[in-house]
Each structure stands twice: as C-alpha cells, then as structure tokens.
Amino acid sequence: MSLLLDGSEVDAVSAVGDSAWLQSGFISTVQKRGAVIIERRKLSSAMSAAKAACDHIHDWYKGTPAGSFVSMAVPSDGSYGIPEGLIFSFPVTISNGEWKIVQGLELNDFAKEKIAVTTKVRREERERERERERERNFWRRETKLLLHVENRSSKKMMELPLSLLAPSNTS
C-alpha cells in the first residue's frame, strides 16, 4: 500500500517511519480499540463495528478503485499459504459484486509470523466449531429417537431417550 507524502509516493511503513512501534504499540492499540471506545465514550463500541460493516458493504457494492484493494474476510483459496476454506482476512479487489484475492504481495518476516499465528488460531477455532456441531447433531439425533410414554396417573406425556432403555453393561 502506498500514499503520497510530501509529493512523493511511499509505502505505509516508510510513511510512519517507526517499524518497531508498528510491530508492537500499533498492534496493541488496534487490539484494544473497542475497550478504548467504551471507556472514552461511555457507550458501546457497536457503532464503530456498524460503521466498519457499512464500509465493508459499500466496498462490496461499489467495488474498489483500479489499483487499490481492501481487506475482507473470505474463504481461502490457498493463497499466501492459508489452508483452503479457512475464513481469513485477505487483500481483495472487488468488481461487479465479485471479490478476488490479490496475489503476489510481498510479505516480510514479521507479517509471515503474524499470519502463521493467526492461521493456527483460526484452525483451532474451526476445529472447536466442528466439534460443537458434532455435539449438536448428536443431540438432534438423540431427540428424534424419543419415546412418548403416557404417565397414567397425571395423563401427561413424558419423553425418554431410547438410550435410557438400553440394557446396562454393568454387573
């Protein structure tokens, strides 16, 4: 990404001129921005999130200007070494409502390290979600196998899972 500084085109890192701060203080600031908004405004940071969502939809609808890109969380196609299918933030161009991952951006070692850490976290999150889905599916199947037993004294229906009726293996 480049910008004009004193009439010359420079990359964002050069424009800031402090890579140590970009790799520490800046990241910390971004990570804590929601809490800072709440602290300073005494209101929820939901408006900030809503603004970001509106900007995102605007970019998707209007497209990106030629030669520029935006970051968007999309399923990976394997670009930049991110496992295929993993939802990840990528640089994308957008035209006619279709996004395309920008290819060939050079990544420094710091960026590669952060991407590796984030990939590990996203993989773990995906696996936890898959496990939760397996559990939900188990209980959905279990409840489909319920027996309706009439309680003669109260005339109410009771639901019992079939697994309660299975013979016990204990002696």
pLDDT digits (tens, 9 = 90+) for 138-167: 877 666 555 544 444 555 555 555 555 555
Which range (42-46, 68-72, 80-84) has the least confidence?
42-46
Angstrom distance (rounded) from CA 158 to CA 155: 10
| Whether residue 65 has pLDDT greater than 90 | yes
For the chain, give the mean pLDDT.
80
State pTM to two decimals. Answer: 0.63
CA 70 to CA 64: how far, in whole Å?
7
